[in-house]
Chain A
Amino acid sequence: MLKDITLGQFFPGDTLLHRLDPRTKLILVVVYIAALFIAKSYISYAVMVAFLILSISLSNVKIGTLLKSIKPLAIIIIITALLNIFYTPGRTIVKFWIFNITWEGLRSAAFMAARIIMLIMGTFLLTYTTSPIALTDGIEILLNPLKKIKVPVHELAMMMAIALRFIPTLIEETDKIMSAQKARGADFETGNIFARAKALVPILVPLFISSFRRADELAVAMECRCYHGGEGRTRLKQLHYQKRDYFAIAFGCLVLAAVIVLRVFGL
């Protein structure tokens, strides 16, 4: 049952979006987010929607899957939209009790909702088409300059990679502990929210203890395999920018430039 949980879900494939260098995709996502926040007019939003649709069509990710990924955040989107509707001053359309719905409010609510939805879809498209390992590698290399100001980039990337590696192992372990506690009469399904939260303690305590033991053993095993930090380390898989990466980044920058120009001219 716990095996259904997917974190940083990745759909393997061989589309253009899959083949792009993870660094390119990370840069593109940053550019895309920046452009989204700069965009203000109908035309610039149209440009962004076109860019998103183009990206989706270049991958094998189904629109339905992307729309589903919005679901958990639906409440946030709705609340944001409602706040925008009621609190934006301007030309009143309807007025009742203390609420005052304005023309501008509706407009900004629609824009805000569109912005959040596109933001989520764009970032999910990244994780759907990039394996977690490639993503960690990309982040490590992109953040490399920060090492100069003593940010432990390699260590952070290593921790992230190990965390990803141990997610399935710990989920399996949680399942086992739950079964063991159920076999001894533990009840996780009934009672109010507090009773259920309390019932989780006998799962969390053994899980924590075993995680610490695992961490200890893993550290020794890593030392045995000559791990001594990021210094002088090489990599099996080197990342190389291809022509398509330069094209993709150039195209992303073009879209950003277009959105900036549109905003400057107030279109």
Chain B
Amino acid sequence: MEQPLMPGQKGYSIFMEKAVIAEKLTFAYPAQDERKVSVPVFSDLNLEVEQGSFVAVLGRNGCGKSTLAKQFNAILLPSGGSVRVYGMDTSNEDLLLEVRRRVGMVFQNPDNQIVSNVVEEDVAFAPENLGVPPEEIRTRVDEALKTVGMYDKRESAPHLLSGGQKQRIAIAGVIAMEPSCIVLDEPTAMLDPQGRTDVLETVRRLNRERGVTVILITHHMREAALADRVIVMEKGAIRADGKPEDVFSQVEMMHEAGLSVPDTTELLYELRKLGYDLPLTALSSEACAEVLYEFLCGAGKERAEV
């Protein structure tokens, strides 16, 4: 197995600090038969993701979010331009396994990504494929299951677990490959609120404590608000890209892209429309409450002075 190069090592280049670099990425789904035309998804899309960052990708259905995600670990290959992950070109077939090992992927439906009917054997699936020695698989599996908080369920059958638990098993199955980046394609769409919280908590911990790059594709504005960076996609192009508070404060743009904004931003936005001077950057409930409190205090003072 090829070892990732460290800074200072021979052959190391600055590109390796970027988790993903998409340059002039063009992609079209090939035509199903001769009468139909191919479906273009992106043209000339440029994107860079820093190692260790937490990026949320938003966009309405059919805007190309999932297709973009599948470009990052060579499930789909660009029809024009290039995608490089950690300096490796995804269209280089010799690097395929290494690309997939470094960029793990978790999908929407936990049932359809669990391979084995024993939890620990499922988590062991990826390291087994990579030819990791059995003793090391054991340690990796135990560690991955402890990370997602499912160690005590290691011998259960997946169909007896809840959706959130199954999704955490799927995440453990990816962690066991020791990836540098995890792409999650709407991982919480089929989960109940508790399962959703558990999965997001796990993902955040991975990002903070282990420095794993997280690319989270989601429909939920609250989830996107947790990220360091939010990318809004519309019709296969990037509409907005920046810090969550900066992106969400462009309320009109978000609505045009067919998206809502977090409830807190929506509230401040509506108040602004009524003529109150409030900042739109308060995203969390606490920050929003704080802003409102200060504003009300200020208003009180003004009235007292008058």
Contact = CB atoms under 8 A, between A and B. Distances in A.
Nearest to A131: B118
Given A169-B159, A214-B111, A236 B138 contact: yes
Interface stretch (A42-50, A52-60, A159-167, A244-252): A159-167
A233 B129 CA distance: 5
A236 B120 contact: yes
Contacts of A185: none
A222 B126 CA distance: 8
A239 B107 CA distance: 32
Interface stretch (A69-77, A94-102, A103-111, A223-231): A223-231
Contacts of A224: 73, 75, 100, 104-105, 174
A79 interface: no
A236 B105 contact: no
B124 interface: yes
B162 interface: no
Contacts of A220: 70, 75, 107
Contacts of B128: 233-236
B168 interface: no
Contacts of B70: 220
A172 interface: yes
Contact of B116 (A133, A223, A226): A133
A38 B36 CA distance: 65
A223 B100 contact: yes
A217 to B, nearest CB: 4
A168 B114 CA distance: 13
Interface residues of A, number: 28
A214 B112 contact: yes
B115 interface: yes
A236 B115 contact: no
Interface string A203-224: 0000000000010011011111
A236 B116 CA distance: 12
Interface centre among A221, A222, A234, A237 (most CB of B within 10 A): A221
A226 B124 CA distance: 12
A191 interface: no
Contacts of B173: 225
Contacts of A162: 115
B169 interface: no
Contacts of A161: 115-117
Given A169-B159, A236-B137, A221 B113 contact: yes
B124 A236 contact: yes
Nearest to A220: B75
B interface, how many residues as a size bin?
A: 35 or more
Contact of A217 (B97, B113, B157): B113
Interface centre among A223, A224, A233 (most CB of B within 10 A): A224
Interface string B237-268: 00000000000000000000000000000000
Contact of A133 (B75, B104, B121): B121
B67 to A, nearest CB: 12
A232 B1 CA distance: 12
A168 B157 contact: yes
Interface centre among A223, A225, A228 (most CB of B within 10 A): A225
B237 to A, nearest CB: 25
Contacts of B73: 224
A238 B135 CA distance: 10
Nearest to A173: B111
Contacts of B120: 236
22 contacts: A161-B115, A168-B157, A169-B111, A214-B112, A217-B107, A220-B75, A220-B107, A221-B107, A221-B112, A224-B105, A225-B115, A225-B174, A225-B177, A226-B101, A226-B129, A228-B129, A234-B127, A234-B132, A235-B128, A236-B124, A236-B128, A236-B134
Interface of B: 70, 73, 75, 97, 100-101, 104-105, 107, 109, 111-118, 120-121, 124-134, 137-138, 141, 157-159, 170, 173-174, 177
Interface of A: 132-133, 161-162, 164-165, 168-169, 172, 214, 217-218, 220-228, 232-238
9 smallest beta-carbon distances between A and B, as pairs: A221-B113, A236-B124, A217-B112, A225-B126, A168-B159, A224-B105, A165-B117, A226-B129, A232-B131
